[in-house]
Structure formats: C-alpha cells, structure tokens
Amino acid sequence: MDFKIIPSTCSYCGTGCGVLFQVMDGRLVDTLPMKTHPVNQGRLCIKGWNLHEHVISEKRLKSPLIKKDGELQETTWDEAIKTAADGLKAVIKDHGPDSVAVLASAKITNEENYLVQKFARAVVGTNNVDHCARL
Ligand code: SF4
C-alpha cells in the first residue's frame, strides 16, 4: 500500500485553512486539518472536512453535457466548448459584454480561478466576475 500526506490549502473560502490530503494508492481518500497552519491551527469547518468529497463523488461529471431535444446528452469537449463560445458570442453581440457574468468555483484551483477572471476581463470584456467563496 502506498500512502501519502499532501499539504494544501482549502479552496472553499477566502480564509485559506491549511489541510492535509490523505492519498492511498494514488487515490484521494480523506482531508485532515493542518495543526501547524497559522490560520486554522488544527481546526476546519464542515466544508473543509469534506474538501475531498467532490473529487471522489460517484456523481462527478466526467464528460460535458449538452441539452438536445430537452435532454442532457454526453458530448465531446470540442462540441461543448464550441456551443458555449457560440452562445457567449451571440449574447455579447446582441447585448454587449456587460450582459455576461462569469462565476468561478471553489472546486477548481486558485490558478484556474485566476484564468477564469482573466477570461472574463480580457476575452469577454466584462468586470462582472464573482466566486462562490464570497457568498
Ligand atoms: S471553507 Fe472552512 S475550512 Fe475551508 S478555508 Fe473556509 S473556513 Fe477554512
């Protein structure tokens, strides 16, 4: 059995608690609080204790879905991205860039969240950006 402890930072809110991910045989299995972290000092709220669960959930989507004929159907990433891009372009053309808002997620990394806001500002042309960690 291969067992590792990976230090990281909880991404669910701006507090930034230190966590320790337990990884067994290459699979994330649990989250523990980091006792030596200056922010949380060994404590986590209920969201932090369950930080790993969306990664290992059976309900996690592993391929994109597009609604066709009223039903969600699996599709390719290329088709999903083209469909989203075409929809965004149409809204921006008809109503302007500030008719679009971009909502980022705590379930992606800080680096990915940086790219989300960059996409909103530099590509879409709007400052309407928010993140669920602010809620
Ligand atoms: S969601 Fe909870 S555990 Fe995560 S950073 Fe915020 S306070 Fe800490």
Report the mean per-residue pLDDT for the chain.
Answer: 93
Which pLDDT score is estimated for 135? 59
Q: Render pLDDT for 16-34 as a digit per residue (tens, 0 to 9).
A: 899 999 999 999 999 999 9
Residue that has been written with the tokens 């590792």 in this structure = 4
CA–centroid distance, 16 to ligand 1, in Å, is 6
Residue 14 vs residue 60, higher pLDDT = 60
Which pLDDT score is estimated for 34? 98
- Please state the CATH superfamily assignment of the domain spanning residues 3-56 in this structure: ADC-like domains (2.20.25.90)
Relative to beta strand 18-24, strand 3-9 is antiparallel
Q: What angle do CA 26, 28, 30 make, to 5 degrees?
A: 140
| N- to C-terminal Cα separation, the chain | 40
Q: Is the CB of 16 under 6 A from ligand 1?
A: yes
User: What would the two tokens of residue 45 be?
Assistant: 């709220």
CA–centroid distance, 48 to ligand 1, in Å, is 5
Q: For the chain, what are the domain ranges?
A: 3-56, 65-134
Q: Is 36 exposed, middle or buried (0-12, 13-18, 19+ CB in 10 A)?
A: exposed
Q: Is the CB of 17 under 6 A from ligand 1?
A: yes
Q: What is the pTM of this model?
A: 0.68
Q: Render pLDDT for 93-121 as a digit per residue (tens, 0 to 9).
A: 999 999 999 999 877 877 888 999 999 99
Is residue 104 within 8 A of residue 130, CB to CB? The reply is yes
